[in-house]
């Protein structure tokens, strides 16, 4: 020890335990992939890792601990978002059973990457410093770039991975550039330090900071697929293996929104008046672009991609108002969104495996007569995403609109209402296909990227691999349980409201 | 009790999902009958003279958001609840006699729709009302889309397309209403305790500026649902696509939820805006009457004749409410029940006519009365009630409405009175065109079957009973109506006082 004045920061191992658990799990899963005999344990090990992490996180519920010299912070917001990511990852593991992508990429690697991405999400939701913020967002993204491309023999999957890599890097670079401006203006990488620096250095409304805020917002908008930075979303969602799409749609969004709100409310709190309107306009654009883009999509994954853009617009509303209720409504919506999406994706995976149509809307035509146990979850999911009553989607919209009106952003609430109305046109089209046989769709109209054949997502290997997929427990159970929870939370929302209120109180 | 009334239909429907095909129709009929019995028992226990809520249930539902599960009966909704229970029984019983694909789902959706509709009548919490208002539409989406009739042969849309149009039209209104409801609660709370209770919001009051825009958010929802002139675009396609047994309840009850919403919510909560926009609403309603009547006597499809006549009748009801006088609104309530009974019966009659003749075209029908005197008599009673023949309850309803309108806006009254003559024309045209004239080939003139008679006769009996004793409704509705209307008159008087 030369004693250069460096005092190693105190590490609270109890509070970092979830991160340690994930890291250990990641290494063990990767090692298990090396040996032929242990290879098939990978999914089980991943589930155990997630369960241990969830348990360790719940242990700290209601704590507020700053870790490692303020680089990370464990609070209810971080815990609740991490739990959403973990549940999403757990469902992804179920949907990945007998998935071609997981087998091709090698069991160990596939699940290790998934856990790695979850690690990034947990870090990101706890990040309280520009450096950890950036490291976490890369830890989250890089495994996902690879996971998108794991369906090695499908052109769409490779294209999806590459596209995500390029656009994602652009987003990261923009974000980093914005961080540089903010650091330059305030001289601090710490969120609280930035807020202090803005006022102490007289940088309030200074162009330097404002440019930084704008660039950071754009970078985060890439990650949360907010229009007009959403162009990658439909293509990547469509090309990626469906279980991974399920994971990206919810978990990535949740983690990115967590850091979005923490960064803007804690670090840029003094500038609230400057960024509110900008974000509100982004939300409005996102709602319109997402909903209009989804109309006429024949590929269900593409449709859900565009719908995700619109839903991100709704959720951004929770950040715009910068209030406790806004944050609570955001967490509520993310949790509800997890179940609504899961029900849909589980059904899509099942239909991909049992029909030759891939994720095309033709795959679900007449589903109500053929497989009611799949048709009900998808119906409930679509109605919930459209925000109809007696589903969690309705309560989520109610929560968001209440927060917006209280925060004097009634016009954005009206945008949500109008967007929801447009969204009926495509959500109900899926429902109509299941219940009423649907209209004939012209062949080849699906706007697939590149040289995708007539049937979206199809290639020789897209032929049915498992004609009984719709009866497998690992697909049926997630679909039915997620749909059940969606309805349950629409009728008895109080437990989730309490959960969200706790998460919301951690920043205000 | 009130909980049972609300949830019994849904519970029966849910159990019905697991029953075999043959019995599910009877099971559903039993469920609807049970609901009606509960409703009648509650009506007997109703305290006639009181204006306030009775049989209330009140528990917190989502405490963080200020939403309560709060139900109650008053003079405004009592008879609409009974009408709902009666028409649903009629519609379900009528459908139970006929073969259906996937009957379990059909009856589940019908009964779920009944719970939704009863919920919107019974809700005393603004947000609960909005929730049920949206919810009652969802089953109809599936009913119309999956069991509906494609009209591609006539150049019309397929059933799913027609239904989608209906959903988008009606949800535009109700989603804006959701925003409006939340804004109402937040603004009236003045930063204090957030509540959606209609009573509490009425006491706290809203600033006039907010009332003006929120009024239109609510009006949009209610006018589309009716449907009123200019926002009726979804109606023709939907009415042509829908199965007739569902139209009995859809046309008979759902349209009234819109009118009820004006009385229950708009008048008490937005009194200043209401008196400000009175003329606009009266003009729209007048448009509905004239347009609906003219369309009703140019259409040849039986469903559309009934559909457009509903537009005209709902125009009358709207006028009654927006006289902003107690007699006009009393008449409106009476007329809501009358029209529900009449139009429910008409759609059952149309369903029978269509079965006998194999067509829905008025021009291809006729002579059906020849061997069916009982059917003809029942139809004639319904027709006479539709055209508000003196002696019928509809006459009394229209008289109250017009009386109120003469006191409020005499110019409008002169135009509205012409509509009474127009109603006579389209109602008689429907009757003569189907029952009289020469009988074309292929049209069967046969007496009404006993089973259909059992469905139709009670409705006709109710029409007759109300004709003899309309006070049954008027007495019970009046105290509550006085309250709703007083909210507006008081506020406009206080406005005048401020201006002076």
Q: Mind listing the pLDDT tens digit for each residue in A299-331?
A: 899 999 999 999 999 999 999 998 888 999 999
Per-residue model confidence (pLDDT) at position A444: 39
- Chain B residues within an 8 Å CB radius of A430: none
Q: What is the DSSP letter of B190?
A: T
Number of structural domains in chain A: 1
Q: Is residue B407 part of a domain?
A: yes
Cross-chain Cβ contact A428/B142 below 8 Å: no
Inter-chain touch A413–B63, beta carbons under 8 Å: no
Nearest to B62 among A406, A425, A497 (CB): A497
Residue A455, pLDDT score: 47
Are the Cβ atoms of A398 and B183 closer than 8 angstroms?
A: no
Binned average pLDDT, 10 residues per bin, chain B of 500 residues: 90 92 90 93 82 82 86 88 93 86 90 94 92 91 88 82 88 87 88 85 87 91 89 89 90 90 91 90 92 89 91 91 90 91 92 86 83 88 88 88 89 85 87 84 80 89 89 85 84 60
CA-closest candidate to residue B171, choices B127, B210, B121, B224: B224
Cβ-based contacts under 8 A for chains A and B? 95
A residues 312..331 contacting B (CB < 8 A): 328
Rounded to a whole number, what is the distance in Å from the CA of B422 to chain A's nearest CA?
A: 37
Query: Quick check: A460 pLDDT over 60?
Result: no
Report CB contact under 8 Å: B178, A328: no
What is d(CA B116, CA B132) in angstroms, rounded to the nearest whole number?
5
Q: What single-letter DSSP state applies at residue A360? A: B
Question: Which site among A403, A419, A432 would you substitute to test the B interface, given the most B Cβ atoms closer than 10 Å to its Cβ?
Answer: A432
Chain B CB contacts of A498 below 8 Å: 64
Q: Closest Cα partner for B247 from B304, B289, B300?
A: B304
Q: Is residue A265 part of a domain?
A: no
Q: Is residue B453 part of a domain?
A: yes
Cis geometry, peptide bond prior to residue B227 (ω within 30 degrees of 0): yes
Q: What is the sign, positive or negative, of the torsion defined by CA atoms of B135, B136, B137, B138?
A: positive
Q: How far apart are the CA of B207 and the nearest CA of chain A, in angstroms?
A: 16
From chain B, pick out residues whose CB is under 8 angstroms from the CB of A383: 138
DSSP string, B277-302: SHHHHHHHHHHHHHHHHHHHTT--BH
Of residues B138, B145, B175, nearest to A432 (C-beta): B145
Contacts of B138 in chain A (CB under 8 A): 383, 388-389
Q: Which among A406, A420, A436 has the least Cβ separation from residue B160?
A: A436
Angle at A195 between CA A191 and CA A198, to 5 degrees: 130
Q: Cα dist. A217→A141, A145, A468 in Å?
A: 17, 22, 46
Identify the pLDDT of residue A445. Answer: 41
Burial of A4 (0-12, 13-18, 19+ CB in 10 A): exposed
**Cα–Cα–Cα angle for B285, B289, B293, rounded to 5 degrees:** 160
A408, part of any domain: yes
Q: Determine the pLDDT at residue A83.
A: 93
Tell me which chain A residues have a C-beta less than 8 angstroms from the C-beta of B168: 421, 424-425
Burial B52-61 (b: 16+ CB within 10 A, else e): ebebeeeeeb
Is B182 in Cβ contact with A418 (below 8 Å)? no
**Which residues span the domain enclosing A363?**
273-440+465-508
H or E segment and range at residue A73? strand A72-74
**Partner-chain residue, chosen from A406, A436, A501, that has the shortest CB–CB distance to B186:** A406
Query: What is the token pair recorded at B35?
Result: 């609901």
Compute the distance between CA of residue A232 and CA of residue B337 in angstroms, rounded to an integer: 56
DSSP classification of residue A67: E
Looking at beta carbons, which residues of chain A come within 8 Å of B150? Answer: none
3-state secondary structure labels for all residues of B114-160: HHHHHHHHHECEHHHHHHHHHHCHHHHHHHHHHHCCCCHHHCCCCHH
CB-based contact (8 Å) between B145 and chain A?
Answer: yes
Find chain A residues with C-beta within 8 A of B175's C-beta.
387, 417-418, 420-421
ipTM: 0.89
Q: What is the mean pLDDT of chain A?
A: 86
Phi then psi for residue B31, to 5 deg, are: -65, -45
For B63-111, strand residue ranges (E) read 67-73
pTM, to two decimals: 0.91
Q: CB–CB of B3/B85 below 8 Å?
A: no
Contact call for residues A277 and A373 (beta carbons, < 8 A): no
Q: Quick one: three-class SS letters along A327-395?
A: HHHHHHHHHHHHHHHHHHHHHHHHHHHHCCCCCEHHHHCCHHHHCHHHHHHHHHHHHHHCCCCCCHHHH
List CB contacts of A103: < 8 A, sequence separation 6 or more. Answer: none
pLDDT of residue B190: 81
Residue at A15 is within a domain: no
8 Å CB contact between B485 and B267 = yes
The pLDDT of residue B46 is: 83
| Spatial distance between the Cα atoms of B235 and A376, rounded to a whole number of angstroms | 28
Q: Minimal CA–CA distance to B145: which of A387, A360, A430? A: A430
pLDDT at residue A447, rounded to an integer: 40
Q: Is residue A56 part of a domain?
A: no
The answer to whether residues A403 and A320 touch, using CB atoms and an 8 Å cutoff, is: no
Domain membership of residue B268 (yes or no) is no
Burial of A468 (0-12, 13-18, 19+ CB in 10 A): exposed
- pLDDT for residue A12: 82
Contact between residue A329 and residue A318 where contact means Cβ atoms under 8 Å apart: yes
Name, in order, each residue with C-beta under 8 angstroms of A187's C-beta and a sequence gap of 6 or more.
A193, A197, A201
Nearest to A424 among B65, B167, B179 (CB): B167
| CA A7 from centre of chain | 38
Structural domain total, chain B? 1
Q: Tell me, yes or no, whether A61 lies in a domain.
A: no
Inform me whether the C-beta atom of residue A20 falls under 8 Å from chain B C-beta atoms: no
A187: DSSP letter: S
| Residue A460, domain member (yes or no) | no
Decide if A204 is inside a domain. Answer: no
**pLDDT for A281 beyond 60:** yes
Is A397's Cβ below 8 Å from some Cβ in B?
A: yes
Hey, is A72 helix, strand or coil?
strand
Count Cβ atoms within 10 A of the Cβ of residue A174 and give its class: 0-12 exposed, 13-18 middle, 19 or more buried. Answer: buried
Q: How far is CA B74 from CA B46, B84, B265, B476, in A?
A: 8, 15, 13, 8
CB contact under 8 A, B176 and A414: yes
Radius of gyration for the alpha carbons in chain A, expressed in angstroms and rounded? 22
Phi, psi torsion values for A67, nearest 5 degrees: -110, 150
User: Which of B13, B64, B242 to mutate against chain A (most A CBs within 10 Å)?
Assistant: B64
Phi, psi of B361 (to 5 degrees): -90, 125
Query: Residue B301's domain spans which residues?
Result: 277-486
CA distances from residue B477 to A460, B78, B397, B484 in whole angstroms, order as listed = 70, 8, 13, 11
Structure tokens at A407: 């925060």
Give the Cα-Cα-Cα angle B381, B237, B98 (nearest 5 degrees).
Answer: 55
Residue B209 lies in a domain: no
pLDDT at residue number B362: 85
State the DSSP string of B423-436.
HHHHHHHHHHHHHS
Average pLDDT over residues A208-217: 89
Distance of alpha carbon B108 from alpha carbon B12, whole angstroms: 8
Concatenated DSSP letters of A97-155 = TT-HHHHHH-HHHHHHHHHHHHHHHHHHHHB-BHHHHHHHHHHHHHHHHHHHT--TT-H
Kindly calculate the radius of gyration of chain B based on its CA atoms and give it in whole angstroms: 22
In the structure, what pLDDT confidence band is assigned to residue A443 with cuts at 50, 70 and 90? very low
For strand B54-62 and strand B67-73, is the pairing parallel, antiparallel, or unpaired?
Answer: antiparallel
B161 touches chain A (CB under 8 A): yes
Specify the 3-state DSSP secondary structure of B206.
coil
Dist. CA B321–CA B328, nearest whole Å: 6
Among chain A residues, CA nearest to B170: A421
State the Cα–Cα distance between residues A42 and A28, nearest whole angstrom.
9
Q: What are A46-92's pLDDT values in tens digits?
A: 898 999 999 888 888 888 888 887 788 888 899 999 999 999 999 99
Residue A451 has what pLDDT?
Answer: 39
Query: Are the C-beta atoms of residues A328 and A406 closer than 8 Å to each other?
Result: no
Average pLDDT over every residue of A343-362: 87
Query: Which residues on chain A are in Cβ contact (under 8 Å) with B183?
Result: 405, 410, 413
User: What is the per-residue pLDDT for B494?
Assistant: 66
Give the DSSP letter string of A423-453: HHHHHHHHHHHHHH--PPPPTT-S--STT--
Query: Is B65 close to A398, i.e. CB distance below 8 A?
Result: yes
Judged by a CB distance cut-off of 8 A, whether residue A389 touches chain B is yes
Q: Do A388 and B138 touch (CB under 8 A)?
A: yes
Q: Would you state the pLDDT for residue B497? A: 54
Length of chain A in terms of residues written: 508
Q: Measured between beta carbons, which residues in chain A are less than 8 angstroms from residue B102?
A: 369
> Would the CB atoms of A398 and B178 count as touching at under 8 Å?
yes
Element containing residue B491 per DSSP (H, E): helix B471-499
Q: Which residue of A has its CA nearest to B138?
A: A388
Residue B381, both tokens: 């009673």
How close is the nearest chain A Cα to the Cα of B3, in Å?
15
Structure tokens belonging to residue B73: 């009966």
- Residue of B119, B186, B241, B242 best to disrupt the A interface, most CBs of A under 10 A: B186
- With respect to residue A455, please indicate whether it lies within any of the assigned structural domains: no
Nearest-Cα residue of chain A relative to residue B196: A402
Q: Does B68 fall in a domain?
A: no
pLDDT at A263 over 80: yes
Residues 6 or more apart whose CB falls under 8 angstroms from that of A164 comprise A144, A145, A148, A232, A236, A240
Contacts of B450 (CB under 8 A, 6+ apart): none
Query: Which residues in B lie closer than 8 A to residue A368 (C-beta atoms)?
Result: 146
**DSSP category for residue A39:** G
Is residue B485 packed enough to be buried (19+ CB in 10 Å), middle (13-18) or exposed (0-12)? buried
Is B25 inside any structural domain? Answer: no
pLDDT surpasses 50 at A38: yes
B179 contacts A405? CB cut-off 8 A: yes
Q: Do B146 and A439 touch (CB under 8 A)?
A: no
Count helices and strands (H / E) in chain A. 21, 2
Helix, strand, coil fractions of chain B, as percent rounded to 5: 75, 5, 20
d(CA A231, CA A222): 9
Question: What are the chain A neighbours of B63 within 8 Å (beta carbons)?
Answer: 494, 497
Q: How confident is the model at residue A438 (pLDDT cuts 50, 70, 90)?
A: low
Whether residue B437 is contained in a domain is answered as: yes
Q: Residue A441: which pLDDT band, with cuts at 50, 70 and 90?
A: very low
A432 to B132: CB separation less than 8 angstroms, yes or no: no
Nearest CA-CA distance, residue A489 and chain B, Å = 11
pLDDT the model gives residue A337 = 94
Closest residue on chain B to A396 (Cα): B65
- B274: its two tokens: 């209401």
């Amino acid at each position: 020890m030369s004693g250069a004045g460096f005092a190693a920061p105190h590490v609270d191992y109890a509070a970092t335990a979830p991160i340690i658990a994930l890291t250990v799990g990641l290494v063990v899963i990767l090692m298990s992939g090396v040996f032929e005999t242990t290879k098939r344990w990978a999914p089980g090990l991943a589930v155990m890792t997630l369960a241990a992490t969830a348990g360790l996180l719940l242990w700290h519920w209601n704590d507020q601990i700053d870790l490692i010299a303020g680089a990370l912070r464990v609070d209810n917001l971080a815990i609740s978002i991490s739990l959403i990511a973990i549940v999403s990852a757990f469902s992804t593991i179920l949907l990945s059973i007998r998935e071609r992508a997981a087998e091709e990429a090698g069991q160990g690697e596939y699940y290790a990457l998934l856990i790695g991405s979850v690690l990034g999400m947990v870090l990101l939701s706890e990040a309280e410093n520009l450096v950890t913020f950036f490291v976490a967002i890369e830890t989250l993204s890089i495994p996902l770039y690879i996971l998108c491309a794991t369906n090695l023999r499908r052109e769409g999957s490779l294209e999806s991975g590459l596209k995500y890599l390029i656009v994602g890097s652009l987003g990261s670079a923009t974000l980093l550039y914005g961080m540089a401006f903010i650091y330059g203006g305030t001289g601090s990488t710490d969120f609280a330090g930035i807020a202090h620096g803005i006022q102490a250095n007289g940088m309030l409304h200074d162009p330097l900071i404002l440019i930084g805020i704008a660039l950071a917002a754009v970078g985060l908008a890439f990650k949360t697929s907010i229009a007009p930075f959403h162009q990658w979303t439909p293509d990547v969602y469509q090309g990626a293996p469906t279980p991974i799409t399920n994971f990206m749609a919810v978990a990535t969004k949740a983690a990115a929104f967590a850091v979005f709100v923490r960064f803007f409310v804690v670090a840029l709190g003094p500038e609230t008046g400057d960024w509110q309107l900008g974000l509100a306009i982004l939300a409005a654009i996102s709602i319109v672009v997402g909903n209009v883009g989804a109309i006429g999509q024949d590929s269900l994954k593409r449709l859900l991609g565009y719908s995700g853009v619109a839903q991100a617009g709704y959720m951004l509303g929770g950040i715009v108002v910068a209030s406790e209720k806004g944050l609570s409504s955001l967490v509520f919506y993310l949790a509800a969104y997890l179940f609504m999406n899961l029900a849909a994706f589980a059904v899509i995976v099942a239909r991909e495996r049992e029909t030759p149509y891939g994720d095309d809307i033709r795959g679900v035509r007449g589903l109500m007569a053929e497989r009611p146990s799949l048709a009900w979850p998808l119906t409930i999911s679509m109605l919930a995403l459209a925000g109809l009553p007696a589903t969690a989607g309705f309560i989520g919209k109610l929560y968001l609109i209440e927060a917006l009106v209280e925060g004097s952003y009634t016009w954005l609430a009206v945008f949500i209402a109008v967007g929801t109305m447009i969204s009926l046109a495509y959500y109900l089209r899926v429902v109509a296909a299941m219940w009423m046989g649907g209209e004939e769709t012209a062949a080849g109209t699906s706007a697939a990227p590149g040289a995708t054949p007539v049937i979206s997502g199809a290639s020789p290997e897209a032929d049915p691999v498992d004609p009984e997929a719709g009866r497998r427990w690992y697909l049926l159970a997630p679909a039915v349980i997620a749909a059940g929870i969606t309805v349950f939370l629409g009728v008895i929302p109080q437990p989730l409201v309490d959960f969200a209120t706790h998460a919301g109180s951690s920043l205000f | 009790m009130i909980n049972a009334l609300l949830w019994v239909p849904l519970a029966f429907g849910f159990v019905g999902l697991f029953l075999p095909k043959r019995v599910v129709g009877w099971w559903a009929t039993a469920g609807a009958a049970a609901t009606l019995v509960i409703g009648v028992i509650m009506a007997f226990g109703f305290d006639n003279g009181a204006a306030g809520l009775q049989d209330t249930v009140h528990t917190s539902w989502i405490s963080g958001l200020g939403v309560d599960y709060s139900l109650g009966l008053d003079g405004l909704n009592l008879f609409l609840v009974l009408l709902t229970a009666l028409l649903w029984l009629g519609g379900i019983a009528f459908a139970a006699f006929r073969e259906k694909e996937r009957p379990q789902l059909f009856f589940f959706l019908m009964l779920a729709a009944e719970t939704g509709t009863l919920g919107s009548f019974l809700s005393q919490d603004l947000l609960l009302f909005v929730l049920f208002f949206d919810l009652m539409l969802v089953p109809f989406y599936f009913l119309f889309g999956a069991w509906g009739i494609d009209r591609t042969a006539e150049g019309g849309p397929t059933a799913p397309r027609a239904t989608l149009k209906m959903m988008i039209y009606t949800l535009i209104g109700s989603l804006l209403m959701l925003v409006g409801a939340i804004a109402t609660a937040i603004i009236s709370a003045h930063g204090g305790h957030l509540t959606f209770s209609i009573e509490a919001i009425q006491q706290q009051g809203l600033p006039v500026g907010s009332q003006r825009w929120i009024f239109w958010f609510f009006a949009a929802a209610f006018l589309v649902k009716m449907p009123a002139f200019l926002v009726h675009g979804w109606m023709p396609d939907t009415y042509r696509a829908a199965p007739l047994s569902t139209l009995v309840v859809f046309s008979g009850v759902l349209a009234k939820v819109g009118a009820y919403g004006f009385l229950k919510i708009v008048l008490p909560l937005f009194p200043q805006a209401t008196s400000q926009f009175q003329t606009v609403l009266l003009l729209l309603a007048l448009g509905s009457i004239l347009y609906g009547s003219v369309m009703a006597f140019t259409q040849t499809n039986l469903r559309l004749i009934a559909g457009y006549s509903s537009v005209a009748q709902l125009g009358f009801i709207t006028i009654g409410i927006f006289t902003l006088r107690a007699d006009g609104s009393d008449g409106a309530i009476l007329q809501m029940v009358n029209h529900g009974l009449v139009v429910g019966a008409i759609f059952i009659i149309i369903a029978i006519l269509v079965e006998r003749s194999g067509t829905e075209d008025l021009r291809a029908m006729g002579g059906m009365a020849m061997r069916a005197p009982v059917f003809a008599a029942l139809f004639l009673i319904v027709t006479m009630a539709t055209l508000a023949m003196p002696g019928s309850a509809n006459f009394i309803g229209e008289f109250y409405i017009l009386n109120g309108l003469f006191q409020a806006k005499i110019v409008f009254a002169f135009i509205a009175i012409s509509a009474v003559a127009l109603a006579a024309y389209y109602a008689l045209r429907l009757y003569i065109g189907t029952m009289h004239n020469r009988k074309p080939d292929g049209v069967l003139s046969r007496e009404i079957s006993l089973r259909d008679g059992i469905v139709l006769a009670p409705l006709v009996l109710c029409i007759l009973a109300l004709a003899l004793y309309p006070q049954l409704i008027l007495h019970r509705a009046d105290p509550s109506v006085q309250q709703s209307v007083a909210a507006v008159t008081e506020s406009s008087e206080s406005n005048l006082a401020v201006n002076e």
